[in-house]
Chains A and B, each alone.
Chain A
Amino acid sequence: GAGVSQSPSNKVTEKGKDVELRCDPISGHTALYWYRQSLGQGLEFLIYFQGNSAPDKSGLPSDRFSAERTGGSVSTLTIQRTQQEDSAVYLCASSLLRPFSGGELFFGEGSRLTVL
């Protein structure tokens, strides 16, 4: 597709369950980012991939959160033993150039996670 694709668009889960969120970046974009948007909290950086490696995982809130990227393309964000505070919209973005080179981020429409 032409843009960043995320799935599922909506996920409702019970506390304690594991969830996987998927991101398909724009073809050819080597950089991939995950952000979390909670009500009143703005956009919170989680993790960044360059190719398949993650040079910056500084934003992952706990060890229940992990992410991987394979083939320099699709990425999966996994949240284990979900808690109610994990409820948020998880946004994925990709870019061709790094921000310090003037690259803009192209965002997907997000995956809305609700933990009951």
Chain B
Amino acid sequence: SQELEQSPQSLIVQEGKNLTINCTSSKTLYGLYWYKQKYGEGLIFLMMLQKGGEEKSHEKITAKLDEKKQQSSLHITASQPSHAGIYLCGAGRDDKIIFGKGTRLHILP
């Protein structure tokens, strides 16, 4: 089974609406990464969370880490077409990062 589960797998929202993507780990989280991938392109680093309870924001994107629940959430406020893409969470494991399968986000104008 997948070590990192993301939900939902796919999401369609109206422009201007808020949305949340979740990432749950079956193992203890020592570091949680969020990346964004535009269709057909490479991955862009969004943010990294290391401590339980940590919360980071960049523009309209906020990520939180709940270490006890082994979960992280990514929240987008007032979504825009530029937010469309695939969001991947990754967990630090030894010297590498393993990733979930991603959440495909579509924004309707």
Contact = CB atoms under 8 A, between A and B. Distances in A.
B97 interface: yes
A56 to B, nearest CB: 6
Contacts of B88: 42-43
Query: How big is the B interface, by class?
Result: 20 to 34
**Which label, helix, strand, loop or mixed, suits the secondary structure of the B interface?**
strand
Given A41-B101, A42-B88, A99-B31, A31 B41 contact: no
Interface in A40-56: 40-43, 45, 48, 50, 55-56
B108 interface: no
Contact of B41 (A42, A48, A109): A109
Interface residues of A, number: 26
B95 A99 contact: yes
Contacts of B94: 56, 100
23 contacts: A4-B42, A33-B96, A35-B99, A40-B101, A41-B101, A42-B100, A43-B99, A45-B98, A48-B96, A50-B95, A99-B33, A99-B93, A99-B95, A99-B96, A100-B30, A100-B31, A104-B33, A104-B48, A107-B42, A107-B44, A108-B42, A109-B41, A109-B42
Interface of A: 4, 31, 33, 35, 40-43, 45, 48, 50, 55-56, 91, 93, 98-100, 102, 104-110
